[in-house]
């Protein structure tokens, strides 16, 4: 299974019926496709809409209805559009149930760095700092390593996105929960052992006696 | 007061070195004719305050490619490699602001507030050099109002008074910017008779709009 699909299928299980969710660019389509039956989630796009959905089909694209990457999207019946101040009021004001973002590093404190690599890549933080600061739950969805280097580290060396501890980290190898005691290995991906996760992780992990295999939403029919 | 003016005359009001707030999010909601006319007239050393610099050839990206921008205050430049290239070459100065903070700084200016207290950015590089304020035990950053000489606003429809109606995600920063700049120039896809836009649908009341770009001449 493709690592992105694996992550999306695990993340989909974190979304609850009725949630308002903001997912990073690219992920929404994948995650939305894997939502369990009976779970209806409203997706926010921070450029000003609740109720975004993937474009239904060719012929529905419109320049006034786009996602945060500028790509055309659709809107579900009951969608609501608003300006940027209200959009970030939703995010910062505690009205957003969950955000799922990519990551460059997560550390033992549960801190996330995901917006720049000094001297190399300075895209800007966009809405990420507000999302990580304000959402009720912050889920980091990322590959476990980058070019063989661990991304879950003792202490972030890259500039932090926020000092708030993230709620959960879902990678192609594991599900890890930052807690008061440190990072806890909650689940491993199918075919991955806790030992392999430890080898691919720089940070210390707390490994419970039982580490179940990752639960996954079923693939769409 | 005659609000409707020609495109060229509107852009002629903008001097080199002006600070411009420009509505839009990745080009959606950015006034296309005003951008093209700024490029045609070659205004230089502009400061642009906007969510992003879109892509080369799209919206604000056209100003960057034409090397008209000296400074940009924005939340994201990752989609425009030309902005990044000019930043590294020292030709363009980039101040990165979290998106929600950018919206609130603009709003604060337009709403007569001395600043906003936000938790966003506390403990990060964004907090460097900024005052922090503790309220009931929570630490906030004091972010200051952001104003500009001109706001370039894009609406779906305007009436001849200058009432503006927005559309879906093309709304974004436009309403806040229309409150925050000294002079507001609006461009709408269509201009309709006064009264056609229902009061509930007005996103920016006409008193905020100084100039409205007229329709192109010619019929059919």
First to last CA, chain A: 16
A71, pLDDT greater than 80:
yes
Q: Is A163 helix (H, G, I), strand (E, B) or coil?
A: coil
Give the ipTM of the model, two decimals please: 0.95
Which tens digits make up the pLDDT trace of A107-158?
Answer: 999 999 999 999 888 899 999 999 999 999 999 999 999 999 999 999 999 9
Give the chain A residue nearest B168 (alpha carbons). Answer: A81
Active site annotation includes A46: yes
Range of the domain at B204: 4-113+145-213
DSSP state of B172: T
Percent of chain A at pLDDT > 90 equals: 84
Does residue B139 belong to any structural domain of this protein? no
Contact B77 A123 (CB under 8 A): yes
Nearest to B47, CA basis, from B7, B82, B19: B19
| Angstroms from A116 CA to nearest CA on chain B | 10
- Write the CATH number for B97: 3.40.1080.10
Measure the CA angle with vertex B135, ends B133 and B140; round to 5°.
45
- Count CB-CB contacts under 10 A for residue A81: 23
Does residue B128 belong to any structural domain of this protein? no
- Domain A3-206 grouped into CATH 3.40.1080.10: yes
Which tens digits make up the pLDDT trace of A167-208?
Answer: 999 999 999 999 999 999 999 999 999 999 999 999 999 999
Predicted local confidence at residue B220, as pLDDT? 42
Q: What are the extents of the domains in chain A?
A: 3-206
Does residue B51 belong to any structural domain of this protein? yes
* Number of domains comprising chain B: 1
Cβ atoms of B34 and B8 closer than 8 Å = no
| Angstroms from A175 CA to nearest CA on chain B | 26
Give the chain A residue nearest B79 (alpha carbons). Answer: A123
Predicted local confidence at residue A144, as pLDDT? 97
Partner residue opposite A47 with nearest CB, options B25, B98, B166: B25
pTM, entire model: 0.96
């Amino acid at each position: 299974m493709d690592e992105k699909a694996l992550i999306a299928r695990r993340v989909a299980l974190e979304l609850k019926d009725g949630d308002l969710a903001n997912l990073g660019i690219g992920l929404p389509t994948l995650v939305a496709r894997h939502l369990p039956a009976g779970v209806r989630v409203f997706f926010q796009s921070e450029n000003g809409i609740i109720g975004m959905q993937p474009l239904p089909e060719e012929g529905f694209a419109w320049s006034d209805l786009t996602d945060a990457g500028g790509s055309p999207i659709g809107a579900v019946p009951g969608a609501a559009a608003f300006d940027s101040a209200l959009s970030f009021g939703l995010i910062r004001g505690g009205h957003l149930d969950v955000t799922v973002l990519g990551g460059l590093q997560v550390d033992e404190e549960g801190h996330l760095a995901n917006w720049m690599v000094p001297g190399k890549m300075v895209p800007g933080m966009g809405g990420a700092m507000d999302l990580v600061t304000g959402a009720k739950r912050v889920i980091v969805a990322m590959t476990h390593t980058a070019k063989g280097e661990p991304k879950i580290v003792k202490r972030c060396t890259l500039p932090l996105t926020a000092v708030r501890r993230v709620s959960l980290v879902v990678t192609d190898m594991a599900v890890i929960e930052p807690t008061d005691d440190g990072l806890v290995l909650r689940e491993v991906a199918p075919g991955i052992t806790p030992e392999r996760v430890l080898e691919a992780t720089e940070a210390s992990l707390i490994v419970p006696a039982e580490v179940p295999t990752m639960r996954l939403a079923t693939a769409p029919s | 007061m005659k609000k409707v003016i020609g495109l060229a005359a509107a852009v002629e009001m903008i001097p080199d070195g002006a600070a411009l707030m420009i509505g839009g999010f990745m080009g959606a909601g950015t006034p296309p004719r005003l951008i093209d006319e700024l490029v045609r007239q070659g205004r230089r050393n502009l400061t642009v305050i906007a969510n992003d610099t879109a892509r080369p050839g799209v919206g604000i990206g056209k100003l960057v490619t034409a090397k008209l921008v000296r400074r940009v205050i924005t939340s994201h430049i990752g989609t425009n490699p030309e902005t990044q290239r000019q930043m590294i070459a020292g030709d363009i100065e980039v101040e990165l602001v979290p998106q929600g903070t950018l919206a609130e700084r603009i709003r604060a200016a337009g709403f007569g507030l001395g600043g906003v207290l936000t938790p966003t950015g506390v403990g990060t590089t964004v907090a460097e050099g900024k005052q922090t304020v503790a309220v009931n035990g929570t630490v906030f950053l004091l972010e200051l109002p952001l104003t500009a000489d001109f706001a370039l606003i894009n609406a779906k429809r305007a009436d001849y008074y200058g009432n503006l109606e927005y559309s879906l995600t093309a709304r974004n920063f436009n309403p806040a910017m229309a409150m925050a700049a000294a002079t507001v120039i609006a461009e709408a896809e269509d201009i309709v008779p006064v009264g056609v836009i229902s009061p509930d649908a007005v996103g920016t009341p006409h008193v905020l709009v100084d100039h409205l770009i007229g329709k192109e001449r010619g019929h059919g």
